[in-house]
Amino acid sequence: MIKSLSKSKIFGFFFSILTLSGFSQEEKSPEQAWLISPSLSIQFPGGDFTDRFGTNYTAGLGLGFKTNQNWIFNFNGHFMFGNSVQNSEEILKGVITDNNNILNQTGNYSQLSLLQRGFYFLGETEKVFNGLGVNPNSGPSISVGAGFINHWIFFDNKGNDSPQVLDEYGKGYDRYSGGFLLKQSIGYMYLSSRRRINFKVSFELLQAFSYNYREFNYDTGLSDTDQHLDLLYGIRLNWYLPIYQKPSEEFFFD
């Protein structure tokens, strides 16, 4: 049997619903804000990048300005890291033993790992479409950007006891490369009306037109003067610290 509610409780319940509806439907314009944004991503290789590296990760930091038309102009930098290097045995074929180890200065096997390292910087323009957002500052977004990238093979040698691949000798194997970079992304930005939770999840595509900076590679004995098309496909999570131009005079619930 359903228990009856008092008239006062029923009235209070519907008053709460109407109040929340009124706040949530209240119109509000997008706000100008500075956006400080740390980010993390996972990236998968494509193009010529598949011949050199596997999956990698990035950690980044950006600074942007959002207009009251929901345009965002930002500059950001990212550090790349990963532990998947392709064809490592072929690259080091001149200095490794028959069982694919490298000797250190004492004649013992060295503890050597080949890792991916790199960085890139970008200037980007982004547009947020708030028609599908939960508030005027949120919604689907698209962005395009341009910048430059550098990437290389990093030799992690415990004890620094393998001079064959360290310092000047390492430059003959590290494939240090870089060049012009383009980026496109699509995602969803959420900037909380209460200023507490602010993030974006996006899918991004990067195209790098890179060249090998080294005069020649020791393993091939040849110069690599070709331009390489390095592609990266990634999923990125941005976390935002918004600094609004002026305090909001209106309040509503997300």
* Tens-digit pLDDT string for the chain (254 aa): 444 445 455 445 434 433 333 344 344 789 999 999 999 999 999 999 999 999 999 999 999 999 999 999 999 999 999 999 999 999 998 888 888 889 888 888 888 999 999 999 999 999 999 988 889 999 999 999 999 999 999 999 988 888 888 889 999 999 999 999 999 999 999 999 887 899 999 999 999 999 999 999 998 889 999 999 999 999 999 999 999 986 545 444 44
The pTM of the full predicted model, rounded to 2 decimals, is: 0.83
**Non-local CB neighbours of 223 within 8 Å, separated by 6+ positions:** 212, 215, 216, 217
Task: List C-alpha distances in Å: 110 to 60, 94, 100, 172.
Answer: 33, 15, 11, 19
Residue of 209, 197, 214 whose CA lies nearest to 148 = 209
- Of 3.30.470.20, 2.40.160.20, 3.40.50.920, 3.30.1330.20, the CATH number of 32-244 is 2.40.160.20
User: What residues does 174 pair with on adjacent strands?
Assistant: none
Residue in the structure block whose two tokens are 């993390």: 40
Beta strands 198-212 and 71-82 are unpaired
Sign of CA dihedral 66, 71, 74, 79: positive
Task: List C-alpha distances in Å: 65 to 23, 31, 142, 184, 243.
Answer: 27, 11, 15, 18, 9
pLDDT at residue 105, as a whole number = 85
pLDDT at residue 196, as a whole number = 84
Contact call for residues 172 and 217 (beta carbons, < 8 A) = yes
pLDDT at residue 195, as a whole number = 79
Contact call for residues 108 and 117 (beta carbons, < 8 A) = no
Instruction: Supply 64's token pair.
Output: 């942007």
